[in-house]
């Protein structure tokens, strides 16, 4: 049975949506969440993440993506990270994932509160 993958990516990258869907299918999985109606977010996205077998993160992590990662961690879903490089998609470690400035600030605040967060580099 094919895995269902919740694919999250920056909304500044909608043009990459078809490439992401193709990539997920080429890995033998079924992509979920390829189109979002923000009127229903976050309730519907949470249900989709609950049903997904894995969560795959594409590109620079923004605040919406961060909340999805946090939820996936709470649900103990496997999470994989990918970047776009030279017209291709390449998997990277969570420690090498890229975060926008707003998320970096959230992470710094979480560290100050001693909460459990992903291990990342902020350099």
Which tokens sit at 6?
């919740």
Instruction: Report yes or no: 70 and 106 within 8 Å, Cβ to Cβ.
Output: no
What's this model's pTM, rounded to 2 decimal places?
Answer: 0.83
122 occurs within a structural domain? no
| 29: three-class secondary structure by DSSP | coil
Instruction: Report yes or no: 21 and 68 within 8 Å, Cβ to Cβ.
Output: no
Segment among 14-18, 46-50, 61-65, 87-91 with least mean pLDDT: 14-18
Backbone angles phi, psi at 24, to 5 degrees: -60, -45
Q: What is the pLDDT of residues 56-107, one digit of tens each?
A: 999 999 998 999 999 999 999 999 999 988 889 999 999 999 999 999 998 8
* Average pLDDT, rounded, for the chain: 83
117 occurs within a structural domain? no
The CATH number given to whatever domain includes residue 100 is: 3.40.50.450
Residue 56 belongs to what domain range? 4-112
- Report how many domains make up the chain: 1
77 occurs within a structural domain? yes
């Amino acid at each position: 049975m094919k895995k269902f993958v919740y694919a999250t990516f920056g909304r500044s990258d909608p043009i990459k949506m078809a490439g992401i869907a193709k990539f997920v299918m080429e890995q033998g999985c079924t992509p979920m969440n390829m189109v979002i109606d923000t009127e229903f977010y976050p309730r519907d996205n949470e249900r989709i993440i609950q049903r997904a077998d894995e969560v795959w993160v594409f590109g620079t992590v923004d605040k919406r993506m961060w909340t999805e990662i946090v939820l996936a961690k709470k649900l103990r879903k496997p999470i994989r990270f990918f970047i776009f490089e030279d017209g291709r998609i390449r998997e990277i470690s969570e420690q090498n994932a890229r975060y926008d400035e707003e998320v970096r600030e959230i992470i710094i605040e979480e560290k100050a509160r001693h909460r459990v967060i992903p291990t990342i580099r902020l350099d």
